[in-house]
Amino acid sequence: MDSSRTAKPIGMGMRELIVLLALLMSLNGLAIDAVLPGMDEMARELGVLDGNRRQLVIAVYSIAMGIGCLVPGAYADRYGRRPILLLALGCYVGFALVVSLLHDFDMVLLARGVGGVLAAGLMVAPMAIVRDLYEGDRMARLMSVIAAVFITVPVIAPSLGQAVLLVAGWRWIFVTQAAIGALAAVWVYYRLPETLTEANRQEINLPVIARNMHAALVNRQSIGYVLGTLLVMAGVFGYVNIAQQLYTEHFGVDDHLFPMLFGATAAMMAVANITNSRIVMKFGARRVSHTGVMVFITVSALQVWASYYHPGDIRWFVPLMACNLGLLGFLGANFGSIAMQPFAHIAGAASSVQAFFRMFGAAMVGLVIGQSYDGTARPFAWALLISSTLALCFVLYSEKGRLFRRLNVKPPTERIIP
């Protein structure tokens, strides 16, 4: 049944749309970042002796979410964005509650994996909704504004997890996550209109799905930006995987100070996304993001230098890490909008295959980065430098060796406001 007919949602304004899409896209981040302060307590209670093994609570969810991204796009192109979102939200809530009840670490990992797969629609459908409504630099601007809102999650999520731990155990972090997911489901059900038009509905059969995904995958204009996003995001996943160990073990930061430092570095992403939303219409997504990736490489090289000549000095690491994360605000939304530009008629399938490569690939590389932690910041610093340099190479492939071009695209009429 088409839930867009039964729910009878009323039209929403742009501000409400931005906040809702930001919330939906941030829920998976909440499922990762809010857990960070509770990892020590969880490891002790569940008998996890290997320090690096605790990272699997984060990595398994991220990898599973990436794999799950392959599925919902095709169904979103057939049945609409709303049903996929509501199904993903139901699974998100259910498996968060399941994790809160488990007493075996391997079962926790299994539940996190299954929950990550089934909640992947929260990554795919919002991108398809944005592509339904906008294209070109206007899409990049909207994605930057959305990102500026949902980036507040990694800023506040560790503090939220820490606040829960002050009054309850780590299990209540997952109960809190489920409660927020349930509120999001109610909001979607009553307020979000369907944005998929009848003209763009696709059939559900393997040849059509394969053809659409293949088209989204082999397009030269798009694939370099997808792989570039994968690589720079891998650094973020690696950072999240090792953050608790890096701050508390290598830099000797107090457990209660860790969420604040982690949030402070992540806050730069919100600042950068707000800045990007203001300048992208003037300079264009390509010019801004190409400049951003070059500066990212430079900052990453400084990270490598600092890891050797100022090891263990958090006064060097935190400012440089804040710069790295801030620069992502000029990369993520712009790379994503450029990659989605050619696929107005198959936005769901394109969003699925691109989200798969971004999330699964970044999570796998991030897992390798996390597991390479050796008690210093050096492996992580080298990973940032290598991944950003390769990202620039892939962008050059998509642009046929020419950077800083601007393509003018006429934006479509906004359709969500009645």
Least confident of 76-80, 142-146, 239-243, 310-314: 142-146
Q: Is the per-residue pLDDT at 399 higher than 70? A: yes
- pLDDT value for 150: 64
Query: Are the C-beta atoms of 334 and 280 separated by less than 8 Å?
Result: yes
Which range of 200-214, 254-268, 392-406 scores highest in mean pLDDT? It is 392-406
Average pLDDT over residues 198-210: 74
- pLDDT value for 1: 36
Q: What is the pLDDT of residues 266-289, one digit of tens each?
A: 778 878 878 887 888 788 888 999
pLDDT tier at 265, thresholds 50, 70, 90: confident
Q: pTM of the full predicted structure?
A: 0.69
Average pLDDT over residues 296-320: 94
Average pLDDT over residues 248-261: 84
Rg of the chain's alpha carbons, rounded to an integer? 20
Candidates 344, 317, 122; CA nearest to 212 is 344
Average pLDDT over residues 27-37: 85
- Encoding tokens for residue 176? 């809190």
- pLDDT value for 148: 65
10-398: in CATH 3.40.50.2300: no
Least confident of 37-46, 102-111, 128-137, 251-260: 128-137
Average pLDDT over residues 398-407: 80
Q: Is the per-residue pLDDT at 100 higher than 90? A: yes
Q: What is the pLDDT of residues 66-76, one digit of tens each?
A: 888 888 877 88
- % pLDDT > 70, the chain: 89
Q: What is the rounded distance in angstroms from the CA atom of residue 377 to the CA atom of residue 153?
A: 24
Segments making up each domain of the chain, as ranges:
10-398
Q: Torsion angle, CA of 202/208/214/220, rounded to 10 degrees? A: -50
- For residue 202, what are the CA distances in angstroms to 70, 74, 132, 137, 302? 16, 8, 14, 26, 48
Q: What mean pLDDT value characterizes the chain?
A: 83
Q: Is the per-residue pLDDT at 195 higher than 80? A: yes
